[in-house]
Amino acid sequence: MSKAISQVPFAVNEPVNSYVPGSSEVKSLIAQYKKMWAEKIEIPMVIDGKEVKTGDKVQLQSPQDHKHDFGFYHRGTMQHVDDAINAALAAKQAWNELGWEHRAAIFLKAADLLAGPYRDVINAATMIGQSKNVHQAEIDAACELIDFLRFNVEFMTEMYSEQPVSDSGIWNRVEYRPLEGFCFAVTPFNFTAISGNLPACMAMLGNVVVWKPSDKQIYSAKVIMDVLMEAGLPAGVINMIFTDGKETAEKVLAHRDFAGLHFTGSTKVFQGMWKMIGDNIHNYRTYPRIVGETGGKDFVIAHPSANVEAVATALVRGSFEYQGQKCSAASRAYIPQSLWADVKKVMETQISSIKIGSPEDPSNFVNAVIDKNSFEKCKGYIDRANESGEANVVIGGKTDDSKGWFVHPTVIETTNPQYESMVEEIFGPILSVYVYEDKDWKETLELVDSSSPYSLTGSVFAQDRYAINEAFKALENASGNFYINDKPTGAVVGQQPFGGGRASGTNDKAGSKMNLLRWTSVRSIKETFVSPKDYKYPYLG
Catalytic sites, residue numbers: 293, 327
Cβ contact 488:457 at 8 Å = yes
3-state secondary structure of 36: helix
Give residue 450's identity as a one-letter amino acid code. S
Give residue 149's identity as a one-letter amino acid code. L
Identify the bridge partners of residue 293 per DSSP, sorted by sequence position: 264, 505
Distance CA 13, CA 492 (A): 8
- DSSP codes joined into one string, 216-269: TSHHHHHHHHHHHHHTTPPTTSEEE----HHHHHHHHTT-TTEEEEEEES-HHH
Helix (H) or strand (E) holding 1: none
Distance CA 390, CA 481 (A): 31
* Torsion angle defined by CA atoms of residues 145, 59, 41 and 126, in that order, rounded to the nearest 10 degrees: -20
Cβ contact 445:336 at 8 Å = no
* Torsion angle defined by CA atoms of residues 279, 285, 291 and 292, in that order, rounded to the nearest 10 degrees: -30
Distance CA 189, CA 195 (A): 8
Sorted by sequence, the CB contacts under 8 Å of residue 106 that are 6+ apart come out as: 228, 231, 232, 233
